[in-house]
Amino acid sequence: MLEVSPEKGILILHGVRHVMLSVQSFAALCTTLIQGFGAGMRAVLYDAGFRTGHDFVGYSARRFGVERLEEVLQHIIDGDALEGWGRYEVVSVDRQQRRVVIRVYNSIAARAFPQSEQPACDFLRGYFAGIFTAIFDQPVRCEETQCMALGNPFCEFRIEPEQ
């Protein structure tokens, strides 16, 4: 599952090379990008998350088969929790309406921006949009309706069809 090779400077998890990043480094990276490039950078973080989610689901689907939705989601939930992105809870899934509600406890972005005035988890928002665009094979959008960075007890994401 986890291979660490300090002599080569390589860390491999589930067959994929990873890099460890502290929450402080993640926060510094995001803050520098937003300060340097303005609020539009949030859309860039969303797009980066979308690409990651879309491609990761493609990887999962090859292993499990997209028709086995629960197994694909559990694989994502467990893998991301192991990597420290937070703990996801699927509140509801409506395959026909393409609507999903997910709660995230201990989101890394919410931890990185504890005093935010707006939902802070743009990367995760894009990530979930990418995942469910791949699963439903139709474009969806994702809004973050609650965020720990705003003082809510969890972050909540609502996925629905793109209008």
Decide whether 45 or 60 has the Cβ nearer to Zn ion. 45
To Zn ion, the closest distance from the beta carbon of 85 in angstroms equals 11
To Zn ion, the closest distance from the beta carbon of 51 in angstroms equals 19
What is 130-156 written as a DSSP string? HHHHHHHTS-EEEEEEE-GGGT-SSEE
To Zn ion, the closest distance from the beta carbon of 102 in angstroms equals 11
| Interface segment toward Zn ion; rule CB under 5 A; list 6-14, 40-48, 67-75, 140-148 | 140-148
To Zn ion, the closest distance from the beta carbon of 104 in angstroms equals 7
Decide whether 3 or 143 has the Cβ nearer to Zn ion. 143
Decide whether 121 or 140 has the Cβ nearer to Zn ion. 121
Q: What angle do CA 130, 131, 137 make, to 5 degrees?
A: 85
102: CB partners within 8 A, 6+ apart: 88, 89, 90, 91, 128, 156, 157, 159
Q: Which two tokens stand for residue 116?
A: 């935010």
* 63-122 binders of Zn ion (CB under 5 A): 107, 110, 121
Residue 133 sits in the site that holds Zn ion (CB under 5 A): no
Q: Where are the beta strands (DSSP E) in the chain?
A: 2-5, 10-13, 16-18, 87-94, 99-105, 140-146, 155-161
Q: Binding Zn ion by CB under 5 A: which of 42, 147, 154, 157?
A: 147
Residue 155 sits in the site that holds Zn ion (CB under 5 A): yes
Residues forming the site for Zn ion (CB under 5 A): 107, 110, 121, 147, 155
